[in-house]
Structures are given as structure tokens and as C-alpha cells.
Structure 1
């Protein structure tokens, strides 16, 4: 009973969308069927557990995930794209592109060309595909004759890439993990012409626990085991269906670290002048837009000279290349010209602003706690294989290869990175 109430508290603390009325109904796009070739394709079930840090499975003895990954493929870690936050990285996983290239540079940002705000908690905005660059895997599959389905993956309720999944559920917090498993099984019971061969699904519980209780808390362990139990249930029920060529890919978008919320960094006072600046503070990254472009270098020098040892100041064009977040990468002009990057576990807080115990968003190269999880098992994957770290944009071409999909645009991921984990 005590664990039951703990689980309920985790569900309450997950990301909240501002909806007056929550619609839990499935959306079905009519008049779609698998092509004859599509019917013979393998199945790929891609599962994201938000905030499932690279070491959580071993740390909290996630027995099912450890068993399946030990039998299949287990990465030492997966490297999130920068910044290591939820919306940018889910879209990187599903498009094979870095955030600066697909346009979701943050959970909240302003587009100066469109003169509009993107906000992850606004239903009408997140379901507007014009915000999203790239072709998500479900759209790629649908365009090539393969039915897809999604449970609450970032962007899956939008028309990004020109095609929504045939079956999908927009984001809400009403479904338990076991209910999500049941919905996947129901899809896989459909007749061959209607049955999805690419399924993406999302679990928010581990991220919610990590934020509100910290990565070392008992509540986070409970959340890990809750998701692990759901995965075990899913795999068994899929096995009971007797389907052939089924593959599971378990990923996360980022890790988690406990931050120093009691001693926050202050926003530099000069940036409070709204006539001169806009700034966007995710607490682990402060992006600055200088309204008069002629002032950028001057402002940068002032910020640099007055900074403390607890954070770094970068001109966006000078950001290290490996982060793929500099001016040269910013295809949508959404990042800003100056970046203030705190050193973990420090965070920037505005006046009277609070933070959660756990946070993410830091550079994974500098803060290993940001690293994510990658496990894979099933008919396409080699057995008992352990691999080194790799960037998350490489998952996209892997899935495309398994499903025999042709990638028709330039992406950042490369098949050569993960092709060695496939049997053939």
C-alpha cells in the first residue's frame, strides 16, 4: 500500500500540460493499411523512459531490463544531444538530428522570425508540426507503406514530417504504465493490414521522481522498478502473441543530477533590462538574445569580466563544435547570441524562483550524470553484446535499417555507428 501511494505521487509530479479538459481517446487516421511489403517487415517497439539515467538499471536492480539487455545489446551509455533536456532529445531520437538542426532547441523558446513562443506545456503548440524540423520515424514509415503507432512521444500528435502515426494518443497523465502496455498489445492484435510495425511509447515516471525527490531517492528507485515491471509485462505479452521478428529498443532522453538549489546563481543584473535583452532560463542553461546586434561583443565582454567561477560565458558562435549548438548550427535562429552555462550542480534562478532537487540540461561530456540509457534486444540484434557510448542521433538510422526504410534527407546520425549490433 505504501508503494502504491508513492507511485501515485510520482504520476502527479510528471510533466503537466495546461489543458482544461483532458481527452484520453485514441486518435486513428482512417483509410491507411500496410503495403504488401509492409506486412512482412519486422516489428520495432521503441520505448523511452524519460530521465532514466545510464546507470539506473544496475543501481536500482531493474531485473527485466538487465536480463533483456544482457541477452541482447547493452550500451555503456548513450550521449544526449545538447542541451540534455526532454523535448529536444526526444525529437533528436526520432529524427536523427541535433536540436539546432531540427529546431527544438529548448522546452521553451521564442522564434524571432515567426514572432511566436514555443512552450512544451501548450497543447495547441506542441501539436503544430510547423515547429518541428526533420522527418520523424513514424512519418518515414507511413510514407513508405508501414503503419505506425505512438503513445505520447514528443511531437507524435503533430503533423511534423507530413504524416502523423496511424494510431496515437496525445500527452496526458491518466494512463498507468500497465495501461500503456495493454494499448500496445491491442495494436499488435490488429489484422495484418492494420497492424503497426513501428511503435513508439513514452514513460514519464522516472523523470518525475528524479526531479522532485532527487536521483538518489527511494521514490526514484520505485519509479525505475515501476517502468521495469511494465517492460517485463510488455515483453511477455508480446511473446504470447506469437509474432515473429519483434525488436525492442529501450532508450532515455537524458540523465539526472541533484543540484545546489540552496545556493543558486543570480541572473546578471544587466540582463534584467528588457529594452536591451531577452533571456531564456532553463536553470542549467541561460540563453541571451541581444536586441541590438551591434552590442553583442560589448555585452559578451561585460558578462565575461563579471562572471564567477561557477559558470562560463560563451559567444554562441564560439561554443565547442562537439556540442552542435553554435551559430553555425542554428538553422532556425532560435538559440541566441550569448550562452551562460553553469557548472554542475549550480543552477541559475530568477528572483523568487524555485528549482527541483534533480535537474538535467548540462553538457554530458562535462557532467556524466546527464548520460542516457540504450538497450536493445530481439530478432535483429546480436546476442550478449556490450558496446561503448554513442550519440543518440544514431538511433534513427538503426531503426530505419531494421524496417528497410529509405532516408531521403540529410540527418546527423550515421548507420555505421550502430550497424555492428545487427545480426546482418
Structure 2
């Protein structure tokens, strides 16, 4: 089973795959921590993709259960809409909703550029011009604090001209043991070359959830294997003797969908008049001819069953995904949102049983995980659910980084979890 899960993981990161895989660590040699930053603590920000808010309890992830007891835990963490991998990973490290940082989906169309962004397209993934906001590693490097990334959305692109000092091109061929040893090696570097912020991405649970569903034994196994790796990581980091704070999060949850009764592209949509971005639980329509919006909207509203139809101007405010929020003008002129567990499906191949993307305020299974432990955190504390935009101010507080730009996240979380 391990070999099978690894093969599935290799084939896609939520669909992400590349023909050419580079396993070489990339290092920017001419950077050093300032004397001031050398005195700061350390943060390892871990993302377990697709690790639903209840997985640790549901599948008895004993190491995570023990670690959260020594630190803080949230009842859940609420992802941003759409509850997809790329938008939410980038929200976590920018403190901005997807419509405010520009990565509005895993794959989307930009009418101004007349281009599609796709997480499968390395030329787009590595192009910094697609990414707004100031990611945590960019903020750190701007203040002469070194950073390292063992994968994170955006970490392969020079955003504002800046990459993490240590980083990798995304791939899953490097064994987890080697990844953990690399983190320890980073922390054992001389103080002026040692990263204080490390991002560490783990995709296996998401892969299993998609392929088999959230309730499958394969997903249980993936959770327990990840839990074992967390133990290996924390034990290995402890050997350095450094004051390391761990923040363990996920980007979204997972739900089992109706794979038999899926929705085709509605008959009211004329693809000669609209660019269709979808399918799944969210379909966006970009009008090639704006005059077609009104009549098509009326037709869609009449025939819609099992899904909601919105114009960009009347998207529910709590989604932060409407006209007023669309800073990069990348959201469709019309949006079709299915009710869980329904999806749109345009392919002849059957859909995978597990997915995500729904409105997290309506579908609890979309909620993500937040645990944190280390010398800076309170112990044995449980806090209410909060939005993932609040991780950014938490990490900046832990590292003593300053920011003056506007973000969506608030500092309430800082007051709740830090000693």
C-alpha cells in the first residue's frame, strides 16, 4: 500500500505533475542573517494538505494528539473560498483572501493577460507576476532573516524579485527521511546562514482523500504515516537544541461526493460567448461578449437545480469573492456553485470520490486543522475556530517581523495562543 500511495502521490499534487523533475536544492549564496535576526527564534510552518479538522481524532494520530496537548489547538481552521489547495496555501502565507492576492483557484483564466494560470504549468507556477501580496519568506528576506522552503505554493517564483534562500522545485521523489534530514541540516548551519522560517509541505493525505474518499482505510493509513513522520521531524529537530516553534496547519478538508449523479455544462451556456473555467463545485464564466451576461444569467437562474447562480456583483459577501474583492479582475462574470455533495463534471472519466472547494461556512467537512507547539506557545489550550488569514500575523509575531502593508488577517489569534 505504501508503494501504491507513493505512486498516486507522484502522479499528482491535486493534479499537479511535471514531466521533468529536479530534486536539487537551490541555494542563494550571497545572503546572511543580520546580527539582530540571529537572535530570533525559529518557526517551522507545516502544511498537511487535505488534513481535515477531525482527522487526528478520527484516525488516532497519536503523535499529533500528544503534541497539541503540549501546545494549542483550534476546534478547526476555516479556509478561504474556494477551499482549494493553491488559493489557501497562498492565503496562509500572505494573510490575504484569494481574490486579494490573485490566486483565485488552482486553475483560472485572467482576462487582462488573456492567459490561463494552471498549477500544472511550471512556466506559470514559477512566474512571480501572477502572485500578489508579500509572502512570509519575502517579508523575512527583506528584513535580512533567512528562509527555507521544502515546498509551498509560491515558493518557486521570484515574488517581488525574491525567493527563499533555500528552496526546491516541487517534486515528490525525495524520500520523507531525506526531507527531514535537510531541515535538521538547515538548522545546524552557522548562525548567519541558518534559516529562521521553514515551510514544509506534506501532500500524502490529500492524495489518499481524493483517490479513495475521506472515510477509506487508505486515508486512515495516510494520516497515520504522516503522524509518524511528524514524530520523526520533531525528534530530529530537538537534537539541534534550538528554540523551534511548530505551526501545523492544513489548507482545507475533504468530503465524499456524489460521483454518480453529476451535472453537465448547463444548456444555457453558449461556449462561443463564454470562457468556461471549471468544472467541480465552482464553475466560472468569463463573457467574451458582455451583452450576453444578462440573458444567460436569467436562463441559468430558471434552470438551476442543485446549484446557485451569481453574477460577480451579487456573490455572497462572506465569500470575499465578488466584484468589490476582485483586485486582479480574475473572477468570472458569473459563478455557478453546487450544493455539497454535488459537482459539475464535464469528462467521460468518472470523478474521484473525494474532493473539496465548497463554501466552508456551509460545509464543515471543508474545515482545516490548526495545532501549534513550542517555547512561544501556551500549553493545553483549545481555541474556537478561526479563519486562516490570521496565520500570517501569528508567524510574523513569533519571528519579530514588521509589516506595514494591509492584510486581511487580524492579531486576535496572537493574543490567544502566545504566552
Contact 1:14 1:204 in 2 (8 A): no
Task: Give the secondary-structure state (helix, strand or coil) at the position aligned to 1:101.
Answer: helix
1:156 Cα deviation from its structure 2 partner: 0.2
Corresponding residue for residue 252 of structure 1: 250
Distance 1:282 1:242 in 2: 49
Q: Deviations over 1:85-128 (max 9, x none)?
A: 00000000010000000000011111111111101011121011
Task: Give the secondary-structure state (helix, strand or coil) at the position aligned to 2:268.
Answer: helix
Distance 1:319 1:239 in 2: 48
Corresponding residue for residue 136 of structure 2: 137
Corresponding residue for residue 287 of structure 2: 290
Contact 1:10 1:223 in 2 (8 A): no
1:178 Cα deviation from its structure 2 partner: 2.3
Q: Deviations over 1:335-363 (max 9, x none)?
A: 11111111111010115253111000000
Corresponding residue for residue 281 of structure 1: 278
1:10 Cα deviation from its structure 2 partner: 4.4
- Mapped pair 1:311 → 2:303: no
1:152 Cα deviation from its structure 2 partner: 1.1
Task: Give the secondary-structure state (helix, strand or coil) at the position aligned to 1:231.
Answer: helix
Corresponding residue for residue 88 of structure 2: 89
Q: Deviations over 1:224-263 (max 9, x none)?
A: 11111111111111111111x2100000000000100111
Distance 1:10 1:241 in 2: 34
Corresponding residue for residue 330 of structure 1: 326
Task: Give the secondary-structure state (helix, strand or coil) at the position aligned to 2:335.
Answer: strand
Distance 1:178 1:258 in 2: 31
Corresponding residue for residue 151 of structure 2: 152
Task: Give the secondary-structure state (helix, strand or coil) at the position aligned to 1:53.
Answer: coil
Structure 2: segments with no counterpart, 5+ residues: none
TM-score, length basis structure 1 = 0.96
Contact 1:75 1:374 in 2 (8 A): yes
Q: Deviations over 1:180-236 (max 9, x none)?
A: 211111111111110000000101100000000100011111111111111111111
Contact 2:309 2:334 in 1 (8 A): yes
Task: Give the secondary-structure state (helix, strand or coil) at the position aligned to 1:287.
Answer: strand
Corresponding residue for residue 45 of structure 1: 44
Distance 2:249 2:159 in 1: 22
Contact 2:96 2:133 in 1 (8 A): yes
Q: Deviations over 1:146-172 (max 9, x none)?
A: 000001111101111331100001101
Distance 1:322 1:375 in 2: 25
Contact 1:72 1:385 in 2 (8 A): yes
Q: Count residues with an aligned counterpart.
A: 418
- Mapped pair 1:5 → 2:7: no
TM-score, length basis structure 2 = 0.97
Moved more, 152-161 or 384-393: 152-161
Moved more, 132-141 or 413-422: 413-422
Shift in CA distance, 58/14, structure 1 to aligned 2, threshold 3 Å: farther
Contact 2:273 2:292 in 1 (8 A): no
Shift in CA distance, 380/328, structure 1 to aligned 2, threshold 3 Å: same
Corresponding residue for residue 338 of structure 2: 342
Distance 2:232 2:321 in 1: 39
Contact 2:10 2:173 in 1 (8 A): no
Corresponding residue for residue 103 of structure 1: 102
Given the alignment, which residue of 357, 367, 370 partners 2:366?
A: 370
**C-alpha RMSD of the superposition:** 1.3
- Mapped pair 1:61 → 2:57: no
Task: Give the secondary-structure state (helix, strand or coil) at the position aligned to 2:275.
Answer: strand
